[in-house]
A and B are shown apart, each in its own frame.
Chain A
């Protein structure tokens, strides 16, 4: 009888020690920045085609998670129809310990001749990014016949009755494009140069998994 009592007391003491130690032991929460960055970017990637689009500079200046577009006349055969050209993005997403922001704006687009001969279109894109993950940046061009692409786009226009956006509403197979970044140490605003074939209807700047299509202003 007594020994059972001693046993119970001993158990109580053990339980106290275990609980006390557990509640006072140092503990830490793990912080996974890579996961946060990935989820912020994939959240943007899944929304990019449904973001609001504007052709007014004032709205692009003020708001974020917005696409700057230009409505241009596209032609398919004898048909002329309006299409939206995506020219700029202001995107922001937050993780717990992370602020992911990317600003892209096509400044100009001009035909150039390549060193080895052959023609290309040089996109000059202003690029600002909140986290320096740029070595992983990949740039592609839409490797598709422009006439065929605009034909499909015209089909979308007929089906929807509103101007479809190049790259955002209709994808295309991608090929790697030549690109270079010029960093600006004082302004934090970098310039991305992309050379794409003149027939490519758009380019894609990819910060995996976020792929951002950009077109040439008309």
Chain B
């Protein structure tokens, strides 16, 4: 009768035999064989190395070839023909017949970097015409948070440095340009950002029956033009103490001295009659006013008045000056930031003129 004891002895003997046979398999300490698989990852220890040939790559264990792949890549770089790599342990990803080898266990990543995640920095500029001058904000944003220093320089049209500052990205710079003009802004952070921008700070004029000049004009332009606007800003910027402006064929002139820290400055010369004064008569001097953008806002001041026709001056729609007619005699008017509208009304309505001055702060 077969007892449980006999089964146990038989099983034990079988197990011993199996153990002896198992030791003959290559599952021993030391080199492990390379499994043949695709789309898999494994770790090899003990004397594996890989060599690239002209049309395939071979994985060797000692001198014995263990596996073949289409091409071998090490740390993302394809091996050149004849090159070999030897490390222990060796991490190997076999994907689509290609071998991706890493010596430090870092997983291979597929997919090129196409610029979506690239280190970048950029400047977001905004401008505010409220307050004195033009206030610019340069917001420097970045996706690199390693404390890169960014420096900002602002130069005026004559190359003079008017503002500079530096900070650790991401950061924001706010500065104000005190006078109208064209400025160059350089934002510099080595290797990330080296950009030049042009800042346009100025006063735009929307003229009605009027023309803007940056120098003298003595022509008789009636009846198309009844108002001459002389832009004096650039003279003050160049350092002139005073300027003489000639406004009519009779060479009448107005001497104006430099305003203290003004953003922009204009002289307005207006004629009230389409045909009364002959050429070389007193033209464009019936109302002479000055618009100065000061630190507290645009200011309209009276310079000179004459003429036989009645006429009126409106600032932002309010009557502030009347000549040869009933009305106020207000010689200065301060507008609300950042614009002022000046309107001249004549007895001869064909000569009515208007100029809208608006502070504009832009960039490109």
Binding site for B on A (CB under 8 A): 3-4, 6-7, 9-11, 13-14, 16-17, 20-21, 24-33, 56-59, 61-64, 90-92, 94, 96-103, 128-131, 188-189
Contact = CB atoms under 8 A, between A and B. Distances in A.
Interface in B17-64: 18-19, 22-23, 25, 27-29, 32-35, 37, 39-42
A50 to B, nearest CB: 18
A40 B114 CA distance: 16
Contact of A17 (B8, B18, B93): B18
Nearest to A20: B27
A62 B12 contact: no
B110 interface: yes
Contact of B111 (A31, A90, A101): A101
Interface of chain A, main secondary structure = mixed
Given A3-B9, A10-B11, A30 B40 contact: yes
B111 A99 contact: yes
**CB-based closest 3 A-B pairs:** A10-B12, A7-B8, A99-B111
B284 to A, nearest CB: 43
Interface stretch (B136-144, B173-181, B216-224, B323-331): B136-144
A16 B15 CA distance: 11
Contact of B33 (A26, A58, A92, A100): A26
10 contacts: A3-B6, A13-B16, A21-B22, A27-B35, A31-B95, A33-B96, A62-B121, A97-B108, A98-B109, A189-B114
B10 to A, nearest CB: 9
Contact of B110 (A6, A91, A97): A97
Given A7-B8, A59-B141, A90 B122 contact: no
Contacts of A20: 27
B41 to A, nearest CB: 5
B122 A57 contact: yes
Contacts of A130: 111-114, 116
B109 A99 contact: yes
B116 A90 contact: yes
A13 B15 contact: yes
B65 interface: no
B107 interface: yes
B139 A58 contact: yes
A58 B125 CA distance: 9
Contact of B19 (A14, A24, A29, A129): A14
Contacts of B23: 17
Contacts of A30: 37, 39-41
B114 A103 contact: yes
Contact of A29 (B28, B41, B113, B141): B41
Nearest to A57: B122
A188 B114 contact: yes
Interface string B194-229: 000000000000000000000000000000000000
Interface string B139-169: 1011100000000000000000000000000
Contacts of A129: 114
A98 B111 CA distance: 6
Nearest to A61: B122
Contacts of B29: 24
A21 B25 contact: yes
Given A3-B5, A26-B33, A58 B40 contact: no
A29 to B, nearest CB: 5
A62 to B, nearest CB: 5
B243 interface: no
Given A30-B40, A62-B121, A62-B143, A14 B18 contact: yes
Contacts of B19: 13-14, 16-17
B348 interface: no
Contacts of B34: 26
A188 to B, nearest CB: 6
Contacts of A62: 120-122, 141-143
Contacts of B244: none
B93 A31 contact: yes
Contacts of A94: 109
B81 interface: no
A32 B8 CA distance: 46
A189 B116 CA distance: 12
